[in-house]
Amino acid sequence: MDKNNIAKIFEVLKKDNPSPMTELKYKTKFQLLISVILSAQTTDKSVNAATAKLFKIAGTPKKIYALGEEKLKDFIRSIGLYNAKAKNVVQTCKILMAKFQNKVPSDRDTLQKLPGVGRKTANVVLNNAFGLPTIGVDTHVFRVSNRLGIAQGKNVLEVEKKLEKNVPEKFKLHAHHWLIILGRYTCIARRPLCGKCKVFEFCRYKKKIINDG
């Protein structure tokens, strides 16, 4: 897809939602980091339900570390992979206290050295916490980017690199939010709601469903 059509797609998405935000609930950069770690392979809604209780009791590295893995599990037991996530979160808190004065690092390489933090998580934190134009490619972004034709690839890194290259600079800050929203509520996995899609005319998806209202 040429850059003119890609720009038109983001113009439409921006007009529909000028200032998109993550649906994760948090008050600090640290709480965002923990929320994103917990959000792997689960929904933001389930993470928010857990962290609403957790952060009231323990919303800092010191307090979560003091809880320990077993007590942390009680708060996040409803979240998928909670055993591994509890271990990663506690270890991340330990590292933040020991090496970073309780602060969240602001560069991707350092973030990725924290337990439970992959490239997507680092990109989401950098974007939401530090206002950097990074693009976190989750399953929604991956699916929508391939279907629309704005960044087609066989893996998330390939899609991320193409998005970085293809998305106009003025749209990069919010690009992954717009794509997540589109994928979460319209361009859904099994049966996309093409009739409700605001960028339908630009989409290259060969299996578009026309009459879904």
CA atoms within 13 A on the CB side of 163: 32
Give the number of other CB atoms < 10 A from CB of residue 2: 8
Burial of 158 (0-12, 13-18, 19+ CB in 10 A): middle
Residue type, 165: K
Distance from C-alpha of 125 to C-alpha of 105, rounded to nearest angstrom: 10
Burial of 193 (0-12, 13-18, 19+ CB in 10 A): middle
Catalytic one of 25, 138, 170, 198: 138
Catalytic one of 73, 113, 120, 170: 120
Task: Give the residue from 78, 82, 83, 91 showing the smallest Cα distance to 117.
Answer: 91
Which value, to the nearest 10 degrees, does the dihedral of the CA atoms of residues 23, 26, 27, 33 take?
A: -110
Residue type, 100: F
145, 13 contact by CB (below 8 A): no
Angle at the Cα of 119 from the Cα atoms of 16 and 109, rounded to 5 degrees? 125
Active site residue 120: yes
Active site residue 16: no
User: What are the residue numbers of the active site?
Assistant: 120, 138
